[in-house]
A and B are shown apart, each in its own frame.
Chain A
Amino acid sequence: MDNVASLMHGFSVALTTHHVLLMMAGVLLGILVGVLPGLGAPNGVSLLLPLTFSMDPVSAIILLTSLYWGALFGGSTTSILFNIPGEPSSVATTFDGHPMAKQGRATEALSFAFLSAGFGAMAGVILITLLSGWVANFALKFSSPEYFAVYFMTFASFIGLGGASPLKAIVSMGIGFALASIGMDSVSGNVRLTFEFDALLGGVSFLIAVIGLFGIGELLLTMEEGLKFDGVQAKVRIGDVLRTAAKLPRYWLALLRSSIIGIWMGITPGGPTAASFMSYAMAKRSSRHPAKFGKGEPEGVISPETADHAAGSAAMLPMLALGIPGSATAAVMMGGLMIWGLNPGPTLFTERPDFVWGLIASMYLGNVVAVIVVLATVPLFASILRIPFAIIGPIIVAICFIGAFTVAAKPFDIWLALAFGIVGYVFKKLDYPIAPLVLAMVIGDKAEDAFRQSMIFSQGSLSIFWSNPLVSTLMAIGLILLLLPLVGPVARRLRGRTAARTV
């Protein structure tokens, strides 16, 4: 009940004209970055973040989270109409969304996508409302060793569950940690790893990394593939939307299952992309007509969309309550919180309840606003994609570099963004996961501090990570996740051998 009272207070913070206008602006900008290739949610948030440094943190986080919702919706629009996922997390939506659009059921596909996405997001937000206070209270018991164990668990799950080569995940993560340690060392006050370059004294900002890795890198990859926009026209009429909405309850099982998958993948740092693929695969496997999937089956749109948005909103829970972001975008936002002078983690709930509950309330409102705005603006944003890439591509490039410069007004950052762009292109081409790099850059300092403080407590003995049941459990889960990639192939081989013997 305590949470409900806090939430009501949160609504009083979020429901001002100023904040609702910010939500609409954020959603519109979000749809724009979601629709445009090369600009996605993580770098949309990165580009906007420097502009919010002077804003009040509550307004700033409402603007940024609304941009995030908008970007998730924008990504689905292009998936359905153009067969081009605007976001990696909406790739699975193309499988059935675009076939539906080609059969002349574009409105139905879009309405299903947006409404089920709204449902998924709501499920995620309700979970946050119910659990965040409890998780934060639990986390108040944490001290440095427990925090380090939680960070360890986060990165272990990337390595173990990420799907990419574990070695490549380690490389990506290690590069992030190394980059985070450049510049001032917060414990000793030394300036580290600058290699006599003055430009490195202030460290390497994670925002520059995101803009380069996700923005420039993505654009280079888009160019290489030589993309062509070949869209389906769509006009969204209120009547069609309502008719589709009336059909939605029929898919309650898909909605429920996908919400659960999404929430799980959002809290554990699997992220929205993995959630949408997993949800699509589950829907296809459990369907009575799996052959219909890929040819325009509504369930093939509903399942990935619900999971995508459920994961996107659920990723806010570990960020707020533990200070651990569940996705690359959440990592950027968490970096923003620290820049605004807030300390993400359990103490935030007691120190700034207006911020936390204002944000949670804004997630309810923001998603409702997003569904309405996105339905109203589909034709507008679809027409933006008809602008030839020869114009839109260079403009996006200019925006990315200008955004990189606005972070700290350092010309060196422009070069750095270019370097990250090349790294992003190569890493994406060779299947190196990029999210661990960004996460490591954002929480690198915190993880290092937690490790060093633990070492000081224990006088240098690693046994402190096994000193009580809580920290031991966390470390054990981390180790199990870490060993999964080793166990998986062995188990498969053993099973294969027994199967071969029985034949």
Chain B
Amino acid sequence: MITRFWAESATAVATMVFGLVIVKGALEFGIGWDSSGPQPGAFPFYTGLLVALASLGTLAITIGKRFAGSGGLQEISLDGEQFRRVAAFFLPLLGFVLLSVTLGMYVATILYLVFAMRFQGGYGWLPSLATAIGAAAFFYLALEKFFQIGLLKGPLEPLLGL
């Protein structure tokens, strides 16, 4: 599976790209000096540059250690079993996010909790549905009624008259 070396290197490259994107974005606003002091791009430019350089440093150290054979970089960072556990948690979570922005957060909460309990937790339909609908009802009462904060709603809530 994934060794520490690849995890470290990939992350360092990703943060370096982030830093460079910020640098590029900052250049549009000028990084020099004008009548009102430093231009708006100056501060982000240097922070972006700092991120890119520090990432490069991490990458260099990681590769250096790899060749020196030190630092435990050959250790498995994520094995098959761990990957399965994380994926089993992350994929429904991703589904929840997708449902939230399309069907609204209440419907997404109910579907997500039912899925997690019924199909992943091995509970019966009744406890799963009761917990899911109970949780959604609690969020509704606490947020919309008590704190007067509206959550993201989809096409289904108006049908229920909420």
Contacts and interface: CB of A to CB of B under 8 A. Distances in A.
B80 to A, nearest CB: 12
A456 interface: yes
Nearest to B21: A195
> SS class of chain B's interface: helix, strand, loop or mixed?
helix
Contact of A401 (B11, B26, B29, B96): B96
Contacts of B25: 192-193, 195
A503 interface: no
Interface residues of B, number: 68
> SS class of chain A's interface: helix, strand, loop or mixed?
helix
B47 A174 contact: yes
Interface of A: 50-51, 54, 165, 167-168, 170-171, 174-175, 177-178, 181, 185, 187-188, 190, 192-193, 195, 216, 219-220, 223-226, 388, 390-391, 393-395, 397-398, 401-402, 405-406, 409, 411, 414-415, 418, 426-427, 429-430, 432, 448, 451-453, 455-456, 460
Interface of B: 4, 7-8, 11, 15, 18-19, 21-22, 25-26, 29, 33, 36-44, 47-48, 50-51, 54-55, 57-58, 61, 77-78, 81-82, 85-86, 88-90, 92-94, 96-97, 100-101, 105, 108-109, 112-113, 116-117, 120-123, 131, 135, 139, 143, 147-152
B100 A397 contact: no
B51 A181 contact: no
Contacts of A220: 86, 89-90
Contact of A171 (B22, B51, B85, B96): B51
Contacts of A402: 105, 109, 139, 143, 151
Contacts of A54: 148
A451 B7 contact: no
B42 to A, nearest CB: 8
Given A391-B131, A398-B135, A219 B149 contact: no
Contacts of A187: 36-37, 40
Nearest to A169: B54
A430 B96 contact: no
A231 to B, nearest CB: 19
B11 A430 contact: yes
Give the most central of B15, B33, B54: most A CB within 10 Å: B54
Contacts of A395: 113, 135
A168 B58 contact: yes
Nearest to A453: B37
Given A167-B57, A220-B90, A455-B37, A226 B117 contact: no
A160 to B, nearest CB: 14
Nearest to A387: B131
Given A406-B149, A411-B101, A432-B11, 12 more contacts: A51-B147, A175-B15, A193-B22, A193-B25, A220-B89, A226-B85, A393-B116, A397-B112, A398-B113, A406-B151, A411-B152, A455-B37
